[in-house]
A and B are shown apart, each in its own frame.
Chain A
Amino acid sequence: GAVVSQHPSWVICKSGTSVKIECRSLDFQATTMFWYRQFPKQSLMLMATSNEGSKATYEQGVEKDKFLINHASLTLSTLTVTSAHPEDSSFYICSARGSHTFGSGTRLTVV
């Protein structure tokens, strides 16, 4: 139980374009989901907390206008990286409150 699914698993995009990443809770309802970023050889850093039906809470230093989060249903949260740049290339991972498991991650490469 408590499976979190993430899609896509990898994406390559051109600089200046936007990319949407989906995080779904498959067998439970998640009112709160978390988005993390992991740079190569580094630990996970929490970017934001996604709350169903309300605004996301962003960690210090994370631009809310660049990383748009939408949590429109109890099973889906999306992270949109807007106007992506090469420095946004990273591994993005989601989790859901109470599940203690993580999505399989999305490897974003901006060229």
Chain B
Amino acid sequence: AQSVSQHNHHVILSEAASLELGCNYSYGGTVNLFWYVQYPGQHLQLLLKYFSGDPLVKGIKGFEAEFIKSKFSFNLRKPSVQWSDTAEYFCAVNARRMTTDSWGKLQFGAGTQVVVTP
């Protein structure tokens, strides 16, 4: 079955620490990959996305993610977090088997709650 897995449900770290959030998916075919962030009480915002090309994707707010096809992974990273990065982070994937197919529905991981302490 198609699925998106985020390894950590909760992460607590100090300001200036480095952050890496894992995301693995189980899809066949071609995938589009996304990371979204949801700040407390706010709606989802797109951090970055990968469609094709350079597997290292840079997003907003200093975040980046690397698509490793052989590992079915799309991990999110930030070298030095700030208190304002406290939020929930969602990985999402959609896929299609053939170029003539429509893209499937966007499926989300369970989310990772990140708390950055001062």
Residues of chain A having any CB pair with chain B under 8 Å: 34, 41-46, 49, 93, 95, 97, 100-105
**How many A-B residue pairs lie within 8 Å, measured between CB atoms?**
33
Would A43 and B43 count as touching, CB distance under 8 A?
no
8 A-B residue pairs with Cβ-Cβ distance under 8 Å, sorted by A, are A34-B106, A42-B111, A43-B90, A43-B108, A46-B106, A49-B105, A93-B43, A100-B34
Would B44 and A93 count as touching, CB distance under 8 A?
yes
Would A46 and B109 count as touching, CB distance under 8 A?
no
Would B108 and A44 count as touching, CB distance under 8 A?
yes
Q: Which residues of A contact B111 (CB under 8 A)?
A: 42-43
Residues of chain B having any CB pair with chain A under 8 Å: 34, 36, 43-44, 46, 49, 90, 103, 105-111, 113
Q: Which of A42, A43, A101 contacts B46 (CB 8 A)?
A: A101
Would A105 and B110 count as touching, CB distance under 8 A?
no
| B contact face: mostly helix, strand, loop, or mixed | strand
A102 to B108 Cα, complex, angstroms: 13
Would A102 and B44 count as touching, CB distance under 8 A?
yes
Q: Which of A41, A97, A104 contacts B43 (CB 8 A)?
A: A104
